[in-house]
């Protein structure tokens, strides 16, 4: 019976994969259910190695997200990275890698190396991915660009390449701010906007521009405090925003104010889940 049912058009499954990727990026609560639905459809899909690699890449991205959020329980990311590279090489040697797969392979592999602390390797993969960014299609291409710019801003920040980090963080921030609201009128991508402000503020601090850093730190705190209490990472973001304000005032040598913000930061319980972007 299973053999007779085999043959779901791969175009339909590819559309579902795009939905799965959206769920990963937005950390939807039902992302695991969506993954399982896609897996079932893949089992019934007519064979297409491009779609199978795309699914493997998205699973890799999913695992990276889980490792960022649950570092103690996440396993198998390194093994998945090795499997992805093997699949990618096989298709590349056969001349069957399209622009979309090139982009996602290099983008996600760059994220993996960044998580490993291998900044030069991460940047090398990001630079290759950037060559294919404009060729990625879809309704959310601007948000995809913003995600990519934000990741670049992170690696440049850790490399202390202030100008490049600031440039990419601002580009990402503008796109996230322009994103349409939900049907209920709520702003979207608030967490990403806060994280962009963190990067911008940090770059200003590295440039010894305390007042500019303080402005962005205040904006980040304002946005973090407006997060719904049920939002994931709300407490973490508020805690970090308060701590960043303390750093700003410390650099400005307003030590009493700095201590107040550090203490306010400590009043927010440290989440059991270690969060990273």
Instruction: State the Cα–Cα distance between residues 17 and 227, nearest whole angstrom.
Output: 29
**What is the token pair recorded at 199?**
């990067």
Q: Which of 237, 251, 235 is nearest to 202 (CA)?
A: 251
Per-residue pLDDT of the chain (277 residues; tens, 9 = 90+): 344 455 677 677 878 888 888 888 877 778 889 999 988 888 888 778 888 888 899 999 988 887 766 655 556 788 888 888 988 898 888 888 888 899 999 999 999 999 899 999 999 999 999 999 988 876 678 999 999 999 999 999 999 999 999 999 999 999 999 988 878 888 888 889 999 999 999 999 999 999 999 999 999 999 998 886 556 678 889 999 999 999 999 999 999 999 999 999 999 876 544 433 4
Domain annotation for the chain: domains and CATH numbers: 1-137 (1.25.40.10), 142-272 (1.25.40.10)
Provide the 3-class DSSP secondary structure of residue 8: strand
Contact 179, 193 (CB under 8 A): no
């Amino acid at each position: 019976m299973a053999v007779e049912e085999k043959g779901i058009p791969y175009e339909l499954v590819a559309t579902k994969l795009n939905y799965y990727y959206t769920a990963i990026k937005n950390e939807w609560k039902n992302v695991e259910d969506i993954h399982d639905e896609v897996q079932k459809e893949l089992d019934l899909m007519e064979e297409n190695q491009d779609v199978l690699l795309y699914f493997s890449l998205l699973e890799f991205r999913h695992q990276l997200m889980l490792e960022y959020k649950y570092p103690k329980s996440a396993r198998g990311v390194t093994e998945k990275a090795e499997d992805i590279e093997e699949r990618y090489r096989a298709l590349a040697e056969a001349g069957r890698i399209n622009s979309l797969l090139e982009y996602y392979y290099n983008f996600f592999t760059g994220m993996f190396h960044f998580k490993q602390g291998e900044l030069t390797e991460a940047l090398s993969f990001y630079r290759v991915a950037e060559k294919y960014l404009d060729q990625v299609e879809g309704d959310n291409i601007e948000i995809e660009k913003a995600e990519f710019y934000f990741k670049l801003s992170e690696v440049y920040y850790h490399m202390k390449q202030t100008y490049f980090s600031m440039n990419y963080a601002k580009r990402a921030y503008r796109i996230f701010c322009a994103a349409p609201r939900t049907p209920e009128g709520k702003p979207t991508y608030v967490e990403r906007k806060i994280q962009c402000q963190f990067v911008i503020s940090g770059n200003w601090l590295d440039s010894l521009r305390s007042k500019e850093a303080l402005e962005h730190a205040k904006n980040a705190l304002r946005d973090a405090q407006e997060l719904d209490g049920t939002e994931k990472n709300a407490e973490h973001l508020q805690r970090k925003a308060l701590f960043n304000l303390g750093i700003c005032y410390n650099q400005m040598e307003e030590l009493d104010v700095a201590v107040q913000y550090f203490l306010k930061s400590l009043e927010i319980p440290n989440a059991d889940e270690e969060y990273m972007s």
